[in-house]
Structure 1
Amino acid sequence: MLRMIINRVSPCSDIETQFKEVLTNRITIRLTSNNLAEITKQAKLEGYLNQSNWVPAAVLSNIHRDPVLTDNETQALRESNRQLAAIGRNLNQIAKILNIEFRESDKITKEMIQLLEDKLIQHKQKVNTLLTKNCQRWSINDEPFSD
């Protein structure tokens, strides 16, 4: 921040001429032992395989102001979509029975519909928890997601 202020105030400073773009897709940073230990601790705490995976996620999260998911979180969301698809198939079967085969509508019980509703509520809670934790990790938004 201080560097930006000095560059803006200084008459001889032209940021465009001073800035040197990196020509590779690799950036090297130097950290104190304490900072590296903190990054390592945070990466382990958040489920990253190593600090080298955590650092780009932290940078991208800051740039895009969006959550960056770990592999485990991505897998959890894929599983979530699979479960939602199964629930959707169940609902389609119920709708078919109610709309087309109305004579067999007595096969559908209130308990069956309640079970589907309970599964949807549990599912929404799991996804909400996952996304809220992710956003809090990157300090993007402290409010939980709504329906």
Structure 2
Amino acid sequence: MDHGPHTHTGASWQTAAQATLHCLTGCAIGEVLGMVIGTAFGWGNVPTTVLAIVLAFFFGYALTLRGILRAGVAFRTVFRVALAADTLSIAVMELIDNGVIALWPAAMDAELADALFWVSLAVSLAIAFVVTTPVNKWMIGRGKGHAVVHAYH
């Protein structure tokens, strides 16, 4: 069956891993900054986690926006591209990352000075990376996700 000239070949694992690493960077910045701010203000787990998730989305989108804006694309277009490219990737990453930390005994109560905070964060982000990479591979292979971003580079 001929699908015409717009048929997308599957994305390589390397491309998917690079897109996921990009997403992971934004998520990690947001997570850590959210935890630092929440801890500094003495907030509980729920508001701190909500802030960390909001900041993870913000920094995930910001990294994509920065890259496309450099290509001279109009901000409105760039914003739509970032939303399309990153929303599912960041959502999956945050779900897995925060799920692992929520299920890890004592991880939610670990302070920034505790090794448990950093170990649980690193492990949860690593698991999120492994789970999110196939999601990105699937999306890029269908011309979605970071495939949209690369059209502007």
TM-score if structure 1 supplies the norm length? 0.28
Bigger Rg, structure 1 or 2: 1
Higher relative contact order (CA 8 A, sep 6+): 2
